[in-house]
Structure 1
Amino acid sequence: MFTPPSAWFTGFIPDLPTPFDAADAVDLTAFAALCERQIAAGLPAIVVCETAGEASTLSPAEQELVIRTAVDVVRGRVRVIAGAVSNATSHAIELARRAEDAGADAVMAVVPAYNKPMQEGMLAHFRAIAGATGLPVILHDVPSRTLRPLADETLLRLVESRSFVGLRDGSADVTRPMRLARHLPAGFRFLSGDDATGFAYIADGGDGAISEVANIAPDLCRTIFSQVRQGRLQSARYLHRRLMPLIGCLSRESPAALKFALSVLGLTSATTRLPIVPLRPAAQREVVRAFAAIADEELIDGVGA
């Protein structure tokens, strides 16, 4: 039975890393374990082959393998959102089609980096991807990586097609959901793409967050979202503030810091793929200190054990 994305594209959704082994191959066993951990935490979906997944360094075959593994592991218990990350429209289309063939529930397409397309170019890029797949498309706007943002006016033109169901908003503009919601279809979802402002984004009308820190503390992130929705903003704000040192570490050296943090918890190797290199010792110590700052309240499973 088809469930519209509006029913599950909400709350905290982790942007999963892609584990690598010592031979630089994708570690599917570790990846499957990361998927199972998120299922156990009750989060509604997972994002694979995107920013934290080092998508730009994965071959199309590797991406398809990761997506198929995610689909096989989750068996419909959560939704799988697959990145179609490329600054070449033809390659993004190929990745979207491979994701659909692999069984993904939606694709996430990002504003092309490096090319710096004008707004008309972004419009044509996203429309071409949506026209090449039957899957719903989630837009990803992340100006810190692409330099040119997805303009509000371009977003409004895109959502004239119901193929576009949501936005991963990495702009850190917490006013965007409230500013645009009345102009968009009722089922369109706004999710923050920035952990540092994720609480404020949700409190100001956002529907959730695509999150790196949710990889580490999925239960806590689900609690924060639930408390915001219940109007318990003071409690949610307190928990989010306790996570801020860790969020700071993750944002400075993504995804190397995320992988190191998960390795501290014994969940996966800290191995990255060039041009990303493992975290420096000084930065590793910062992550450990960030863990120690929240271990006293046992906010993250495994910390302090």
Structure 2
Amino acid sequence: MFQGSMVALVTPMREDGSVDENSLRNLVDWHVEQGTDAIVAVGTTGESATLDEQEHCEVIRQVVEFAAKRLPVVAGTGANSTTEAIQLTRCAKQAGADGCLLVTPYYNKPTQEGLYRHFKAVAEAVDIPQLLYNVPGRTACDMLPETVGRLAVIANIVGIKEATGDLSRVALLRELCGEEFALITGDDASSREFILAGGVGTISVTANIAPAAMQRMIAAARRGDVAEAARIDAPLAGLHRDLFLESNPIPVKWALAEMGRIPKGIRLPLTWFAEPYRAQLRQSMVNAGLI
């Protein structure tokens, strides 16, 4: 279930910041048509940090409804409070999500033992498949492979989104966690190499605007077709870079608006993509054949 090209879906918003349900439905339909392997709803790219708990649960419910079992839906339910993470994970289970993605607690910088106990508590509280999410560049907290190995023995902790970009971790995680544990990258720029090194998928920002190409590239890498994966990935390289010219999801929401797929809406403290960067990202979109 947790493999292939999984899109870290944006949450479409109107210019007043309200969630645009029609655009969300259309995005889900588009990803089904384009062959995306799974949708991750309300993660970092989905602006989880600025949706309140009711909105968070409602967007998960809507994505599950719109997907209608045509592809798996993974709900972002992490928090820096263990109690809140449990509440959001329960919401996701009730909504019918296929699994949950839980980021390491951010800002409060727990120890490795604290991380172990946090994720163990969520897994024991809610019987749903769960993916760990390690992204120290955002959280100021790096969950070490040894801690992941401790958690991998818990039955419903089934994989990790490893977003450090450190390819040397793939082999170590596989050794510590076993063959059935899903190793998924969260770094678009190194996703091809991650898969070729033994990973099974990506949770991708680039897939928001180039879903078919990302799906084909990841599929080629998974079957070990090095040349074909590189050929497909080459025109995407600019997107992997330029979708992070400002903090995600600022650039990708602008790109989707340029493609006419969502309105120009984002919530403070994030702001609309700055004009000086737009020509560079637009050129990368042209190079990828998107516009």
8 Å CA contact 2:145, 2:172 repeated in 1: no
In structure 1, the partner of 2:280 is 286
Structure 1, residues 157-194: CA drift from partner, whole Å, max 9, x if none?
Answer: 10111111010010101122222313324321101000
Structure 1, residues 110-169: CA drift from partner, whole Å, max 9, x if none?
Answer: 111110110011111111111121111100000101222111111111011111101001
In structure 2, the partner of 1:270 is 264
Distance 2:115 2:223 in 1: 37
2:155 to 138, 150, 162: 162
Distance 1:123 1:202 in 2: 26
What is the one-letter code of the residue matched to 2:100? V
1:101 aligns with 2:94: yes
> TM-score, structure 2 length as denominator?
0.96
Distance 2:222 2:80 in 1: 36
1:256 aligns with 2:250: yes
Unaligned segments of structure 2, at least 5 residues: none
Distance 1:191 1:252 in 2: 23
What is the one-letter code of the residue matched to 2:92? A
What SS does the aligned partner of 1:165 have? strand
What SS does the aligned partner of 1:138 have? strand
1:252, distance to aligned residue in structure 2 (A): 2.8
In structure 2, the partner of 1:90 is 83
Distance 1:166 1:224 in 2: 21
Give runs of aligned pairs for residues 49-198 of structure 1, distance below 5 A: 49-198=42-191
Distance 1:176 1:255 in 2: 26
What is the one-letter code of the residue matched to 1:258? V
Structure 1, residues 65-93: CA drift from partner, whole Å, max 9, x if none?
Answer: 11111111111111110011311111111
8 Å CA contact 1:92, 1:129 repeated in 2: yes
Identity between Structure 1 and Structure 2 (%):
33
1:225, distance to aligned residue in structure 2 (A): 1.6
> TM-score, structure 1 length as denominator?
0.92
8 Å CA contact 1:137, 1:165 repeated in 2: yes
1:231, distance to aligned residue in structure 2 (A): 2.9
8 Å CA contact 2:8, 2:204 repeated in 1: yes
In structure 2, the partner of 1:23 is 16
1:278, distance to aligned residue in structure 2 (A): 0.3
Distance 2:253 2:173 in 1: 35
1:226, distance to aligned residue in structure 2 (A): 2.1
In structure 2, the partner of 1:37 is 30
8 Å CA contact 1:56, 1:85 repeated in 2: no
What is the one-letter code of the residue matched to 2:265? T
Unaligned segments of structure 1, at least 5 residues: 1-7
Please identify, of 15-24 and 227-236, the stretch whose mean Cα deviation from structure 2 is larger.
227-236
Higher RCO (C-alpha under 8 Å, 6+ residues apart)? 2
Distance 1:217 1:278 in 2: 21
Distance 2:114 2:16 in 1: 39
1:232, distance to aligned residue in structure 2 (A): 2.3
* Alignment size in residue pairs: 290
Please identify, of 281-290 and 27-36, the stretch whose mean Cα deviation from structure 2 is larger.
281-290
8 Å CA contact 2:112, 2:144 repeated in 1: yes
1:243, distance to aligned residue in structure 2 (A): 1.0
